[in-house]
């Protein structure tokens, strides 16, 4: 064997070995400060996708999970409201029984059919993509209460609107979540809700058209998500983000952002290879993650707790949020799947009227609506209690997790006709129990929900009343 051949063979061996190694990004050449800054940006951008996927995985993939609903493209109805036993979603709504649809749109579109719903009952279908953008609505406000068929298509579908379809709704991601809400007017109304839910229909477009089905989409080996706690610190966060991004084609406005994230290894469909990075790189990534959560805490303190920002600013479609990734992160962290402001707004109480954190172990609170000052809505309103830090419903002897407009006939009125609600851990006096919203024996927050808000609620003419700390006895 000649020396020249040996050299060539050696070079070939080296090149082959290098090609077999995990892809090396420019991350190794970046300064630690750059890695830290880009990591912060990637967490702020990516957290809503990762936390959304955690929920979707528990609902539509992990059949052994207590929260599992149904396989992809199968509708699941729940003819009850949420309770403290429901723990997958932060700040669950306990006003409206839900129906759930996890949509896999890779092979073909789905046809969603809704029935005639009486005009005095609110219902809605909220369409949420992997980014957590609310990209469409069907229901009382958006399309009316008449029956109709709606086509939900993914980014790869190029067809025309078929006969019998009222509207084409397009998702920019391959997977989407459709969250149905059907108003429950009281405990005696459950059977009516069940009848409506039974008439919701979901089917592939090919079945709707009575045509042969297209080839099935490739099987997905779904990534097992990190826990809600691990999302803050685990470097597997980035493996999960990479997995999700392969189903979210880059939007033209985010091409440069995606390229920048790729410099630290945020590449759709690729492993992050954290264990093969240097200790300095991993340290910079961990610090960048902490920076992102610090930015969120500062945003909450400076923007949300002060009332400068509300839910009306945090939930909506891509055009509405217009690159406000920190606002999108806050919306996902504090109330994932919140509605766009036209559908509902959520005045929140994280602090009392003097800016002090709420604590049911130490204090009692009152919320008073003066005469004619109840929330202005076309559908209904509610006030729901959540314990911290989990932002879940609060177990209590009354099994009362909210007070809403359907309960008005049973609430005690003040002498002037107004209504005072009591938010506290211990039971109030007997004559005030009808107006008691039980709080945990510890930190909490509460949020109002105004469904189909009237203009006065949207333009600021009506303002949510302050939450007052009651005097100690």
β-sheet bridge partners, residue 453: 377
Query: What are the helix (H) ranges across 255-317?
Result: 255-262, 279-299, 311-314
* pLDDT, position 85: 87
Higher pLDDT: 50 or 93? It is 50
C-alpha span between 127 and 168 (Å, rounded): 12
DSSP characters for 52-102?
A: HHHHHHHHHT-TTSTT---STT--EE--S---TT--SSSS---SS-EEEEE
The predicted pLDDT at position 27 comes to: 56
Tens digit of each residue's pLDDT (9 = 90 or more) over 190-210: 899 999 999 999 999 999 999
* pLDDT of 94 higher than 90: no
Question: Under DSSP, is residue 100 helix (H, G, I), strand (E, B) or coil?
Answer: strand
Which tokens belong to 348?
């929140």
* pLDDT bucket at 26, cuts 50 / 70 / 90: low
pLDDT of residue 473: 59
Structure-token pair, residue 415: 């002498």
Q: Please report which residue ranges of 272-378 form alpha helices under DSSP H.
A: 279-299, 311-314, 318-321, 325-335
**pLDDT confidence tier of residue 79, bands split at 50, 70 and 90:** confident
- Is 6 a residue whose pLDDT tops 80? no
What number is the average pLDDT over the span 18-41?
72
Provide the angle, in degrees to the nearest 10, between the axes of the packed helices 255-262 and 32-60.
110
Per residue in 216-244, pLDDT tens?
999 999 999 999 999 999 999 999 999 99
Reported as a single tens digit per residue, the pLDDT across 370-401 is 999 999 999 999 999 999 998 999 999 999 99
Residue 310: band (very low, low, confident or very high) from pLDDT cuts 50, 70, 90: confident
Residue percentage of the chain with pLDDT more than 70 = 94
Q: What is the mean pLDDT of the chain?
A: 92
Structure tokens at 174: 């391959």
**Predicted pLDDT at 28:** 57
Give the separation between CA 441 and CA 264, rounded to whole angstroms.
44
Q: What span, in angstroms and rounded, lies between the C-alpha atoms of 180 and 138?
A: 9
Q: Which pTM value belongs to this model? A: 0.85
pLDDT for res 461: 93
| pLDDT tens-digit series, residues 117-138 | 999 999 999 999 999 999 999 9
Kindly report which listed range (21-25, 120-124, 278-282) carries the lowest average pLDDT score: 21-25
Write out the H or E segment, with its range, that includes residue 107: none
* pLDDT on residue 91: 82
The pLDDT of residue 89 is above 80: no
Give residue-wise pLDDT tens across range 394-448: 999 999 999 999 899 999 999 999 999 999 999 999 889 999 999 999 999 999 9
Residue 317, pLDDT > 90, answer: yes
pLDDT at 464 over 70: yes
Give buried/exposed letters for 28-48 (b at 16+ CB in 10 A, else e): eebeeebbbbbbbbbbbbbbb
Q: Tell me the C-alpha distance between 28 and 189, whole Å.
A: 61
Q: What Rg do the C-alpha atoms of the chain give, in angstroms? A: 25
Q: What is the pLDDT of residue 436?
A: 97
- For residue 1, what pLDDT band results from cuts at 50, 70 and 90? very low
The residue with greater pLDDT, 91 or 377, is 377
Confidence of residue 9 (pLDDT cuts 50, 70, 90): very low
- For residue 62, pLDDT over 60 is answered with yes
For 139, 200, 441, the CA distances from 147, given in Å and listed in that order, are 10, 10, 46
Residues 70-90 have a mean pLDDT of 88
First to last CA, the chain: 98
Percent of the chain with pLDDT over 90: 83
User: What's the pLDDT at 3?
Assistant: 41
Structural domains in the chain, sorted by start: 32-54+223-334 (no CATH), 69-209 (2.60.40.1610), 347-469 (2.60.120.1600)
**DSSP secondary structure letter of residue 274:** G
14 pLDDT more than 90? no
Helices (H) then strands (E): counts for the chain: 11, 19
What pLDDT score was predicted for residue 187? 75
Q: Is the confidence at residue 22, as pLDDT, over 60?
A: no
């Amino acid at each position: 064997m000649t020396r020249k051949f040996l050299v060539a063979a050696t070079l070939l061996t080296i090149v082959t070995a290098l090609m077999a190694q995990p892809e090396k990004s420019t991350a190794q050449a970046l300064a630690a400060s750059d890695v830290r800054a880009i990591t912060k940006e990637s967490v702020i951008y990516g957290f809503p996708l990762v936390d959304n996927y955690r929920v979707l995985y528990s609902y539509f993939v992990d059949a052994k999970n207590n929260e599992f609903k149904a396989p992809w493209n199968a509708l699941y109805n729940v003819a009850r409201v949420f309770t403290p036993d429901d723990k997958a979603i932060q700040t669950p709504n306990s006003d409206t029984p839900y129906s759930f649809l996890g949509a896999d749109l890779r092979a073909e579109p789905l046809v969603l059919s809704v029935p005639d719903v009486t005009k005095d009952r609110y219902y809605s279908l909220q369409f949420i993509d992997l980014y957590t953008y609310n990209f469409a609505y069907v229901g009382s406000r958006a399309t009316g209460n008449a029956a109709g068929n709606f086509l939900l298509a993914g980014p790869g579908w190029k067809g025309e609107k078929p006969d019998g379809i009222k509207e084409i709704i397009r998702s920019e991601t391959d997977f989407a979540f459709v969250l149905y809400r059907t108003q429950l007017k009281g405990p005696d109304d459950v059977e009516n809700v069940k009848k409506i839910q039974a008439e919701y229909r979901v089917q592939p477009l090919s079945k709707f058209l009575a045509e042969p089905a297209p080839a099935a989409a490739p099987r997905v080996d779904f990534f097992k998500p990190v826990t809600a706690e691990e999302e803050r610190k685990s470097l597997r966060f980035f493996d999960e983000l990479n997995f999700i991004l392969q189903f979210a084609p880059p939007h033209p406005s985010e091409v440069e952002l995606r390229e920048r994230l790729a410099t630290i290894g945020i590449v759709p469909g690729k492993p992050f290879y954290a264990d093969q990075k240097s200790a300095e790189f991993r340290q910079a990534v961990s610090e960048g993650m902490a920076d992102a959560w610090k930015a969120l805490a500062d945003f909450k303190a400076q923007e949300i707790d002060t009332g400068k920002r509300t839910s009306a600013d945090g939930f909506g479609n891509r055009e509405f949020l217009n690159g406000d990734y920190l606002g999108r992160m806050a919306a996902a962290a504090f109330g994932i799947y919140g509605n766009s402001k036209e559908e509902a707004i959520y005045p929140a109480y994280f602090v009392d009227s003097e800016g002090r954190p709420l604590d049911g172990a130490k204090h009692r609170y009152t919320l008073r609506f003066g005469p004619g000052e109840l929330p202005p809505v076309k559908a209904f309103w509610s006030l729901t209690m959540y314990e911290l830090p989990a932002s879940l419903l609060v177990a209590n002897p009354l099994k009362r997790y909210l007070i809403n407009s359907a309960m008005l006939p049973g609430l005690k009125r003040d002498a002037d006709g107004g209504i005072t609600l009591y938010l506290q851990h211990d039971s109030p006096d007997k004559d005030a129990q009808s107006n008691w919203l039980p709080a945990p024996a510890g930190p909490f927050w509460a949020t109002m929900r105004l469904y189909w808000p009237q203009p006065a609620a949207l333009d600021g003419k009506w303002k949510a009343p302050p939450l007052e700390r009651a005097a100690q006895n």
